[in-house]
């Protein structure tokens, strides 16, 4: 070997580093090209009713379009959830109102948002495709965001007192407290709720990409519209091709995004001893080993974050004493924000209520009674689906959360099962139920269960993962039995996450009723008596008065249950079952 030759280990390391950097650079280049392609399509001429091909050759392009819509809706959901949860936690004046609004919004099904959202977006962009695309993205957003907002709010409420005391002692600014304490503490819950939110988005993708609004037909190219067309035509091979493409996309997302996110969020566990088993991800290790990303982090991200922290530390959360002349403008501004903004909101609400009552004037007493009765039928189906889901999801979630090796196998399978739209499988399920003597009444419960049980499972997994390892070791040291372990360690540890899962599962079950109780199959409409069927039927026929009444009744049922049951349980978790 001459003096100029490199030792083989060093040569191998440099070759491997170059390969990693080339992969990262290629991924960034592909992302930029995808954004250019999407921009070209969105800024093109409006085609609200595209022809949906059932050929397998169309699936790659359809998968790309659906993936872009899902990603845009998820980013919008994350920003909204973090911001809304933060304001609801620290704004004592608005906290009660914001939680009530969140309860109401999560109880409103996707199809009830459809007329206002889609007509508004098309009116804003009448000649561009982005109007219909933005409408579809916002509809997907309404099926994703609420459990993420509940999760982050619950995480902020459960931050241990000693950590908050430490942030005050070290004089953290509000920005430092948020970035270094609150956001990391809520990371585990956000990651797992993000997975179930995206799964919920896939569940409602068929309703968000292809729907009828009165005499207008909206069809966007995507996996959801592909599966909807195949299911409506009874084209079993096309359904299987569509499901195969969707599962391939879900598996790729799991390996490239969720598995690294889970491994990354594991470092934010609140514990005093190191966990015996930590999750890993080959993709995360690849990114950590990239010299390009390392240089970017050291030369750009770290100095930028230090400058932001330094600037924010000069403006602490507690304002210094001001002279009276300087305090006067602040007091006037507080008067404006404290009275003028609430007055404006009340005026807007009054206008909305007046318009709603004007719309409801055409409702007959018979329709009103029938709506209340159908809400009772759907309520019973929701209760049964929650009981069945809790019976298996709680023990399964604890087992997955306590055993990382099991999680590596079970989590991707659960993610796939949660993401596959049950409506695409519903024709097969329904035919099987009919052959066994059942019908859509039973099938609707099964479809609700398939769409909502994952909220409970994923939240319980997140709660079990978040239980500190030192508490588990104490249970081992004192030889706790199974009942003691559940009563003293597991149930108190997962309690805030479990309540979040039950609340969002309840709202999700009501939301799922719109597709569970009313189904298009081979050119026919199969329906059963329930509020979800009434909402879907009113949407198809363009009966906005009945749609508004059904939505108001559904929101009333959900909010009443939340106020009488879930909200007291939430307060119990904030006071009794919190670390600290």
Considering 186-190, 346-350, 374-378, the range whose residues carry the highest mean pLDDT is 374-378
- The arithmetic mean of pLDDT across residues 499-509, rounded, is 84
Q: pLDDT tens across 15-60, in order?
A: 656 676 677 677 777 777 777 777 777 777 777 677 888 888 899 9
Neighbouring residues of 7: CB distance < 8 A, sequence distance ≥ 6: none
Q: What is the pLDDT of residue 355?
A: 75
Burial 91-104 (b: 16+ CB within 10 A, else e): eeeeeeebbeebbb
Neighbouring residues of 89: CB distance < 8 A, sequence distance ≥ 6: 95, 153, 156, 157
Q: What is the pLDDT of residue 8?
A: 53
Q: pLDDT tens across 221-243, in order?
A: 888 888 888 877 778 788 889 88
Residue 56 to residue 21: CA distance in whole angstroms: 34
Residue 217 has pLDDT above 60, yes or no: yes
Q: What is the pLDDT of residue 509?
A: 85
Residue 1 has pLDDT above 60, yes or no: no
Residue 418 has pLDDT above 80, yes or no: no
Lowest model confidence (mean pLDDT) among 122-136, 237-251, 273-287, 519-533:
273-287
Lowest model confidence (mean pLDDT) among 167-171, 334-338, 452-456, 486-490:
334-338
Q: What is the dihedral of CA 503, 509, 510, 513, to 10 degrees?
A: 180
Cα→Cα distances 364→290, 536, 546, Å: 67, 19, 10
Residue 3 has pLDDT above 70, yes or no: no
- The residue that leads in pLDDT, 292 or 448, is 448
Helix spans in 43-94 (H): 59-90
Q: What is the pLDDT of residue 337?
A: 56
Q: pLDDT tens across 361-385, in order?
A: 888 888 889 999 999 999 999 999 9
pLDDT band (50, 70, 90) for residue 321: very low
Residue 560 has pLDDT above 60, yes or no: yes
Residue 547 has pLDDT above 60, yes or no: yes
Residue 428 has pLDDT above 60, yes or no: yes
* Residue 2 buriedness (CB in 10 A; 0-12 / 13-18 / 19+): exposed
- The arithmetic mean of pLDDT across residues 160-174, rounded, is 84
Q: What is the pLDDT of residue 379?
A: 92
Global pTM reads 0.72
pLDDT band (50, 70, 90) for residue 162: confident
Residue 167 to residue 146: CA distance in whole angstroms: 29
Lowest model confidence (mean pLDDT) among 126-140, 507-521, 551-565:
507-521
- The residue that leads in pLDDT, 327 or 139, is 139
Whether residue 459 contacts residue 397, with contact meaning beta carbons closer than 8 Å, is answered with yes
- The arithmetic mean of pLDDT across residues 189-200, rounded, is 84
pLDDT band (50, 70, 90) for residue 419: low
Residue 182 has pLDDT above 60, yes or no: yes
pLDDT band (50, 70, 90) for residue 426: low
Percent of the chain with pLDDT over 90: 9
Q: What is the pLDDT of residue 274?
A: 54
- The arithmetic mean of pLDDT across residues 423-449, rounded, is 69
Residue 316 has pLDDT above 70, yes or no: no
pLDDT band (50, 70, 90) for residue 276: low
pLDDT band (50, 70, 90) for residue 278: low
Closest CA to 210 of 109, 142, 135, 141: 135
Q: What is the pLDDT of residue 320?
A: 45
Neighbouring residues of 458: CB distance < 8 A, sequence distance ≥ 6: 192, 193, 195, 196, 397, 414, 418, 501
Considering 177-181, 296-300, 334-338, 468-472, the range whose residues carry the highest mean pLDDT is 177-181
Lowest model confidence (mean pLDDT) among 217-226, 248-257, 323-332:
323-332
Residue 74 has pLDDT above 60, yes or no: yes
| 179 alpha-carbon distance from chain centroid | 21
- The residue that leads in pLDDT, 66 or 232, is 66
Residue 107 has pLDDT above 80, yes or no: no
- The arithmetic mean of pLDDT across residues 402-417, rounded, is 79
- The residue that leads in pLDDT, 334 or 144, is 144
Considering 23-37, 146-160, 425-439, the range whose residues carry the highest mean pLDDT is 146-160
Residue 75 has pLDDT above 90, yes or no: yes
- The residue that leads in pLDDT, 370 or 283, is 370
- The arithmetic mean of pLDDT across residues 180-185, rounded, is 88
Q: What is the pLDDT of residue 18?
A: 64
Q: What is the pLDDT of residue 170?
A: 82
- The residue that leads in pLDDT, 305 or 54, is 54
Whether residue 47 contacts residue 65, with contact meaning beta carbons closer than 8 Å, is answered with no
Q: What is the pLDDT of residue 163?
A: 85
Residue 179 has pLDDT above 60, yes or no: yes
DSSP state of 72: H
Residue 532 has pLDDT above 80, yes or no: yes
- The arithmetic mean of pLDDT across residues 554-563, rounded, is 83
């Amino acid at each position: 070997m001459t003096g100029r030759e490199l030792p083989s280990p060093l040569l191998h390391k440099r070759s491997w580093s170059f390969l990693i950097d080339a992969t990262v650079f290629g991924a960034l280049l592909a992302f930029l090209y995808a954004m250019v392609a999407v921009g070209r399509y969105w800024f093109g001429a409006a085609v609200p009713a595209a022809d949906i091909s059932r050929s397998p050759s169309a699936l790659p392009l359809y998968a790309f379009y659906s993936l872009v819509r899902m990603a845009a809706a998820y980013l919008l959901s994350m920003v909204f959830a973090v911001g809304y949860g933060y304001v609801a936690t620290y704004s004592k004046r608005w906290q009660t109102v914001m939680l009530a609004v969140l309860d109401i919004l999560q109880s409103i099904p996707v199809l009830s948002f459809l007329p206002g959202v889609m007509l508004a977006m098309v009116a804003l962009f009448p000649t561009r495709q982005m109007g219909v695309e933005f409408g579809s993205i916002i509809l997907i957003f309404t099926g994703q965001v609420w459990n993420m907002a509940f999760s982050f709010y619950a995480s902020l409420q459960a931050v241990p007192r000693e950590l908050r005391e430490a942030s005050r002692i070290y004089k953290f600014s509000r920005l430092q407290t948020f970035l270094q304490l609150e956001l990391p503490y809520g990371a585990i819950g956000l990651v797992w709720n993000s997975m179930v939110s995206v799964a919920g988005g896939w569940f409602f993708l068929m309703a968000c990409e292809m729907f009828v609004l009165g005499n207008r037909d909206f069809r966007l190219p995507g996996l959801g519209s592909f599966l909807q067309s195949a299911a409506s035509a009874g084209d079993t091979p096309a359904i299987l091709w569509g499901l195969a493409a969707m599962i391939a996309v879900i598996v790729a997302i799991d390996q490239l995004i969720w598995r690294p996110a889970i491994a990354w969020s594991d470092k934010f566990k609140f514990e005093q001893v190191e966990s015996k088993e930590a999750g890993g991800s080959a993709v995360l290790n690849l990114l950590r080993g990239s010299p390009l990303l390392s240089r970017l982090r050291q030369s750009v991200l770290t100095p930028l974050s230090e400058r932001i922290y330094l600037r924010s530390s000069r403006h602490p959360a507690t304002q210094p004493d001001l002279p009276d002349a300087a305090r006067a403008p602040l007091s006037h501004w507080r008067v404006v924000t404290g009275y003028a903004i609430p007055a404006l909101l009340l005026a807007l609400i009054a206008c909305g209520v007046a318009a709603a009552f004007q719309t409801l004037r055409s409702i007959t007493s018979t329709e009103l009674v029938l709506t209340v009765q159908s809400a009772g039928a759907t309520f019973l189906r929701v209760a049964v689906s929650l009981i069945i889901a809790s019976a298996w999801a709680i023990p399964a979630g604890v087992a997955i959360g306590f055993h990382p090796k099991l999680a590596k196998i079970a989590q991707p399978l659960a993610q796939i099962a949660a993401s596959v739209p049950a409506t695409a499988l519903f024709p097969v399920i329904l035919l099987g139920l009919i052959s066994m003597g059942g019908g859509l009444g039973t099938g609707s419960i099964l479809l609700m269960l398939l769409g909502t049980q994952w909220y409970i499972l994923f939240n319980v997994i997140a709660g079990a993962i978040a239980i500190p390892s030192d508490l588990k070791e104490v249970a081992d040291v004192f030889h706790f039995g199974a009942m003691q372990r559940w009563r003293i360690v597991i149930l108190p540890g997962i309690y805030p996450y479990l309540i979040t899962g039950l609340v969002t599962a309840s709202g999700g079950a009501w939301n799922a009723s719109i597709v569970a109780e009313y189904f298009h199959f081979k050119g026919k409409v199969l329906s059963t008596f329930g509020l979800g069927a009434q909402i879907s039927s009113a949407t198809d026929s363009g009966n906005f008065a009945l749609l508004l009444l059904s939505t108001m009744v559904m929101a009333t049922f959900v909010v009443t249950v939340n106020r009488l049951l879930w909200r007291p349980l939430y307060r119990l978790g904030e006071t009794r079952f919190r670390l600290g």
